Structure 1
């Protein structure tokens, strides 16, 4: 937040340095690359997940089938549904059935590695192997995983990530990773000066020379968001993410244990709620920041949470959730 304020203050004083702004993006790209285990040359920057997923949807041939988890976040799904006029079909199956549901017509398996609604984890290895057998692309959304769950983007064809969730960057910072062979299939639909081989020499036409690596897919950045992203991303890139996972999951599973529910091994806990949001309101009254999602209430534990937060949630939940869950 301090870095973002400093950026805005410099902007207000008329002292903004564009080279410094560009370095914020360079450093953010490099930090994210380290975090997900790919070279920075495989990372493109953007603003929102759906914009980046749209590049993949546009690259699929007419009549292609896309396999997605039932109830996945719409930024993963809508960009494909928007191509229905080209015969693109989207097949929805439970996230646990993605791998066995891959068939000869499947051109792409698109999924959130961790489901936003309830924290379920996709079996990435099984999905990757099933997709490879039929030559289908794998596209994973890491928005609900990068930052608390160790991820290996190098093992997937394409990943997309909005960094304002677990990576705690300002909204408007997003990344795409793509292996070199796959990158050639993606048309740079949003190409502008920032996707140029030399960004400072790419401001005017008529000729176009795009970057040779994933930067050719870049979307021109909104500078303030990236100023705030640098310290957040560099912190997580230097952190033992496995230790973060153990901490977050221990709190989430501790909450479930306090409700006599089995552990789920995720940092996200989803519990039933009624249409009036009674459980969500009780949690908020107890001082918990939670979200009403998908007909339930969702709690997400991260590095700033501790056992006191679990106890606070349990004090509000015990009288309500046990009766519903059992």
Structure 2
């Protein structure tokens, strides 16, 4: 795999282990944004007239990367916007399964609306815990993050397929914000009914852009009619009155969604297969080396499947030491969160281990 550090100037100054908090801006993205604003500067409404063709290209780019038909891709400013819109379509009598201490944008959005709720524990037995609660509680919907934001625990996709096969009427709503952009994924072949994600982390697309993917049958399952503002569905909006149009009221931002396509183009240039292999190799090495230093919790150590996010034992003193040595990471939960992306290297890991 090519060295992609050169595309992200910040990496010349820092060891960046913080993609789980925020991705980086690439030079490609900066160039696109300059050209975009220049076109708007000299084009005005003539530039605006081209926006619909841009959004069609963005939906196709997202759909091609994640295995979803473009007409079932909704462009949203972030995961929270799309997920809250989705929940407004769900009858409050439905029972929803959540994971304890999952990302607040998932759990709080459900719990604050008064749904019937049941929970499964996040530990080394995550999949067994979920299966047990499903069998006992018979939920209608399972809403969850594919990768946990605090410690990087990743749910087994094969388990989800098995669970779906055993419970075909159970709807799966997933947050892929800490997942999308880390490995090859085929939404249509997955167990998921809905996948949403913000794109400012692992896709390195900047802020205020995200997407939601829907299986075809969801058009009959949900109908957010109350959220469609017809006065804002202009004659130039190609999906006026459509299922996806209901998740995109008003005007979309050409700068931010153009940024999403630009970021995906760079990921495709890197190669999604190569990206996946690079991340998995580095994550496996990091897990082994951090385990040697006894810095990982049992719930992570005892699982075969894991992401490239780790939460290590460490207080504020250690966190400040890392920052003073130009290692950028985050304090999350009771420790320090580290995250490795395709632009990271073994040298980054060695620099971290030296400071630890």
The two structures share one fold, judged by TM-score above 0.5: yes
For the Cα contact (< 8 Å) 1:24–1:230, is it kept in 2? no
Aligned to 1:293: 332
Q: Distance in 2 between matches of 1:232 and 1:200?
A: 26
Residue 239 of structure 1 and its aligned partner are, at CA, apart by: 4.8
Aligned counterpart in structure 2 of residue 281 of structure 1, from 320, 324, 333? 320
1:191 paired to 2:228? yes
Tell me the matched-pair count. Answer: 306
Q: Distance in 2 between matches of 1:247 and 1:83?
A: 41
Aligned to 2:185: 151
Aligned counterpart in structure 2 of residue 139 of structure 1, from 173, 192, 210? 173
Structure 2 portions without partners, runs of 5+: 1-29, 295-300
Residue 12 of structure 1 and its aligned partner are, at CA, apart by: 4.3
For the Cα contact (< 8 Å) 1:66–1:107, is it kept in 2? yes
Q: Distance in 2 between matches of 1:315 and 1:199?
A: 60
Residue 284 of structure 1 and its aligned partner are, at CA, apart by: 1.4
Aligned counterpart in structure 2 of residue 102 of structure 1, from 131, 134, 156? 134
Q: Distance in 2 between matches of 1:201 and 1:228?
A: 20
Aligned counterpart in structure 2 of residue 21 of structure 1, from 24, 38, 51? 51
Residue 81 of structure 1 and its aligned partner are, at CA, apart by: 1.2
What CA deviation, in whole Å up to 9, does each residue of 1:24-61 have, x standing for no partner? 32222111111111111111111111121123322332
Give the root-mean-square deviation of aligned CA atoms: 2.6
Residue 237 of structure 1 and its aligned partner are, at CA, apart by: 4.3
Aligned counterpart in structure 2 of residue 235 of structure 1, from 238, 244, 266? 266
Aligned to 2:208: 172
Structure 1 portions without partners, runs of 5+: 203-207, 318-326
Between 1:242-251 and 1:169-178, the stretch displaced more is 242-251
Residues 122 and 60 from structure 1, CA distance in 2 versus in 1: closer, same or farther, beyond 3 angstroms?
Answer: same
What CA deviation, in whole Å up to 9, does each residue of 1:125-148 have, x standing for no partner? 323432454411101111111111
Between 1:5-14 and 1:242-251, the stretch displaced more is 5-14
For the Cα contact (< 8 Å) 1:44–1:175, is it kept in 2? yes
1:75 paired to 2:105? yes
Match of 1:35, SS state, is helix
1:52 paired to 2:82? yes
Aligned counterpart in structure 2 of residue 244 of structure 1, from 268, 275, 279? 275
What CA deviation, in whole Å up to 9, does each residue of 1:266-297 have, x standing for no partner? 211221222xx222222212211111112221
1:66 paired to 2:99? no
**Within-5 A mapping of 1:84-95:** 84=114, 87-94=115-122, 95=126
Structure 1 length as normaliser, TM-score?
Answer: 0.84
